[in-house]
Amino acid sequence: MPVLNFASPPFPDEAISSWLDRIAARFGAGRDELADYLGLGDGDLDYDMSPRDQKALAHGTRLAPSEIALLPIRHRTPWIGVEDLVEPDIETGVRGLICPRCLEEDEAAGRHQYVRSQWLDVWSVRCRVHGCALQNFEDADLYARQTGPRRVRLTGLFEQTRGPERRRRLKPVRAAGISVPCELTALELAIERARQGSPFDPNLWSLGRSWPAARSALCDLSDLLLTRSRLSGRPILATWFDRPDDLLPAAFTCGAPRRGALGALLAPWRVRVLAGVAVLAARPDKFLSSALHGYGPNHLLELQGISTKLADKLPNLVRVAARDPLGMLLCAATPKEIERLASRSIYWPRPLRDRMASAAAMALAGAGDLADM
């Protein structure tokens, strides 16, 4: 097996892909070239490694196999699956988000800049150290590059490809200005505690006691927000948040988005989707005013193109929208989508499943009212 002449050890909270990028940068190579050289397989090393890959990486980096075995994120974060990781970029293989303040502190401390494993978690939208919103890796145009005899920093591709005599001074990483709503902050903390075995607060959430059941519901609600409205043809998320369609990712404006797309969303959109999910997952009496954004119960229907006069003739739709944010969203969903969610809800926590049954029945009745108009 090949052995590297020098390989700095990973930081305790570093993602494996980040560590491999740093090692590769020291040798002027890419991560794929390094993986081929060491004989690593094609699996998702950030999530888990086969015994063969553990042995090859331990031998090549001269670290103990017991240290290598604990690096994948599944051994650091309870109840995390490979589908809970942010999807890597198809072209660059870069995955995860960044906290600009963490990278600035790495720079100030004179250490390697690296990607924390927490940033790969699709349910994590804020830095646990600084509390600021994570931003897309691509937004800062960052790539690992050797900048000194013992230093690797994440720098722009433009700076990486220019010659030393023409290289401009490296620009600092700046935050993208993403704000995280208070309801999403509450959900993020609740998920973190649930993964550690604590139940969701029943006075705040309709998510029960089991994280696997709660996760199933949260994923299905994310998919709901990315489907198209049966009334306007616009994605439900854009309708609910009253934002222009041109801010939607192209994948969600042309045809139906695939299921389980949360990990493929860019940081601002993941925040928006999960903020909506937080409102839906909360008890209706807690975040109803936030869900309606200060408008009356007819607001969603008006955005869908239904006038107040027409809404007055659709008591079922209005009653659903007034009682529960989940029902309000189902008013905009197609009957097929409502039935799909209803069938999926058998895997949900009981409080949310009961809400779904009631809201679905009234939304389908409202759909019949609309069809008869």
Number of C-beta neighbours around residue 61 at 10 A: 21
Tens of pLDDT along 20-55?
988 888 888 888 899 999 999 888 899 999 999 999
Tens of pLDDT along 200-226?
999 999 999 989 999 999 999 998 888
Tell me what pLDDT residue 321 has: 58
Tell me what pLDDT residue 41 has: 87
Using the Cα atoms of residue 130, residue 136, residue 137 and residue 138 in order, give the sign of their dihedral: negative
Tell me what pLDDT residue 225 has: 85
Number of C-beta neighbours around residue 190 at 10 A: 22
CA distance 129 to 111: 17
CA 63 to chain CA centroid, Å, is 32
CA distance 341 to 353: 10
Q: Which two tokens stand for residue 282?
A: 């909360």
Q: Which two tokens stand for residue 74?
A: 């599944």
**Distant-in-sequence, close-in-space partners of 197: CB < 8 Å, separation ≥ 6:** 78
Task: Check: CB of residue 287 under 8 Å from CB of residue 182.
Answer: no
Tell me what pLDDT residue 248 has: 54
Tell me what pLDDT residue 172 has: 43
Tens of pLDDT along 108-144?
888 888 899 999 999 999 999 999 899 886 555 445 5
pTM value is 0.81
Give the chain's residues under pLDDT 50: 141-142, 156-175, 242-246, 289-295, 303
CA distance 200 to 64: 39
